[in-house]
Amino acid sequence: MELDCQYCADCCRRSMPAVTEQEIETIARTTGKKPEEFTRPAHHAILDLYVLQNKSNGECIFLEKEEEKFSCSIYEVRPQECVDFPPEKQLPFCRTK
């Protein structure tokens, strides 16, 4: 099945993307926020990994919603993991028309 994205933003609520040191610096410079305001350590046993924070409702801290439309407030500097997403295939939680 080919991807038929419905722009539901569920992927921005499921798991938070990992961010590299360089990406953290870029996002900090762009938003004027301190890294500790938008990242948190990922609870990974082996890797020293940081991910974006999520809001209390589970959404990515940078996900915005206006009326019924979602958008990424750091779209131009979003982490590579988000750039590479979604994969070519529909994901199990993807909504269909």
Residue 17 in contact with ligand SF4, rule: CB under 6 A: yes
Tell which one of 4, 12, 65, 96 touches ligand SF4 (CB under 6 A): 12
Cβ pair 88, 41 in contact under 8 A: no
The answer to whether residue 82 forms part of the interface with ligand SF4 (CB under 6 A) is yes
Residue placing its CB nearer to ligand SF4 in the complex, 46 or 56: 56
**Quick check: 51 binds ligand SF4 (CB under 6 A)?**
no
Which residues bind to ligand SF4, rule: CB under 6 A? 12, 17, 52, 60, 62-63, 72, 74, 78, 82
